[in-house]
């Protein structure tokens, strides 16, 4: 519960910095908190002001002995659901709700081109009219139930605050490399060659027979 509260506090403190998630590990020297983000420079701040401010806030609010914050850059921003949801929210707040279809389709194409097996984006709210409704775009193959849907599919939620109201954003991405249970692979048939291994006695008899036949052939030729 404490770790979950720390993750929520970090997500509320670090906004618009491409934050993906955070992990906390207890060590003998203190608590090690790893923050995964697509923009490490914004998290650190000028001369490390933001990171030192966050460290002091964590130490005071959650009574941590020696919190150590480390930054890790997200490998691909188009395959991280939380970063994608934040980018959609930023684009909606910047360009407005009239261009929401272009924003959704552009984000979906970027994820598929990055190698995602499937993606689904949902927007809920007053888009683009004054009446609230939901919009959904999807591409590829995305599991909706089962163990893969729970463990492998990356899901994230976000909100965009517009003049017309708050827009809810839901993103689900199935990353590349997920092995599906119904995947069938065709194996090539191997042809095994079995060689007969003869014993030492049989090999010795064959050699003696060959030598006797050679002697008889030579004797016949001389005669």
Q: How many CB atoms lie within 10 A of CB 84?
A: 27
Domain ranges of the chain: 2-73, 77-174
* DSSP symbols for the chain: -HHHHHHHHHHHHS-SS-EEEEEEEEETTEEEEEEEES-HHHHH-GGGHHHHHHHHHHHHHS--SS-EEEEEE-S-GGG-HHHHHHHHHHHHHHH-GGGHHHHHHHHHHHHHHTT-SEEEEEEEES-SSSS-EEEEEEEE----SSHHHHHTSEEEEEEEE-SS-EEEEEEEEE-TTPPPTT---PPPPP-PPPPPPPPHHHHHHHHHHHHHHHHHHHHHHH-
Q: Is CATH 3.30.300.20 the right assignment for the domain spanning 2-73?
A: yes
Q: What is the Cα–Cα distance from 31 to 48, expressed in whole angstroms?
A: 19
Q: Which residue has the higher pLDDT, 193 or 169?
A: 169
| Token code pair at residue 148 | 């893969």
pLDDT value at residue 30: 80
Query: pLDDT digit string (tens) for 189-210?
Result: 776 766 655 555 555 566 666 5
Q: Which fold, 77-174?
A: Ribosomal protein S3 C-terminal domain (3.30.1140)
As a whole-number percent, the residues of the chain with pLDDT over 70 amount to 85
pLDDT at 169: 95
Give me the phi and psi of 133, to 5 degrees please: -155, 175
Encode pLDDT of 41-68 as tens digits: 888 888 888 888 888 888 888 888 888 8
**How would you classify the pairing of strands 68-73 and 30-37?**
parallel
- pTM exceeding 0.85: no
């Amino acid at each position: 519960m404490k770790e979950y509260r720390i993750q929520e506090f970090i997500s509320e403190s670090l906004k618009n910095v491409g934050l993906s998630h955070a992990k906390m590990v207890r060590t003998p020297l203190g608590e090690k908190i790893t923050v995964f983000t697509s923009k490490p420079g914004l998290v650190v701040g000028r001369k490390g002001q933001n990171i030192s401010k966050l460290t002091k806030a964590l130490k005071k609010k959650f009574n941590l002995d020696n919190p150590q914050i480390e930054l890790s850059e997200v490998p691909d921003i188009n395959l991280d659901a939380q970063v994608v949801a934040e980018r959609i929210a930023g684009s909606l707040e910047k360009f407005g709700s009239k261009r929401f279809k272009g924003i959704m389709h552009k984000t979906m194409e970027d994820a598929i081109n990055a190698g995602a097996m499937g993606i689904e984006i949902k927007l809920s709210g007053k888009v683009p009219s004054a009446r609230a409704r939901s919009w959904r775009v999807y591409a590829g193959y995305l599991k909706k139930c089962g163990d893969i849907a729970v463990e492998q599919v990356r899901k994230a939620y976000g909100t965009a605050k517009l003049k017309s109201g708050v827009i809810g954003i839901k993103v689900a991405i199935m990353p590349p490399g997920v092995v599906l249970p119904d995947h069938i692979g065709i194996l090539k048939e191997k042809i095994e060659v079995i060689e007969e291994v003869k014993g030492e006695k049989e090999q010795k008899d064959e050699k003696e027979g060959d030598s006797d036949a050679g002697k008889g052939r030579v004797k016949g030729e001389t005669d």
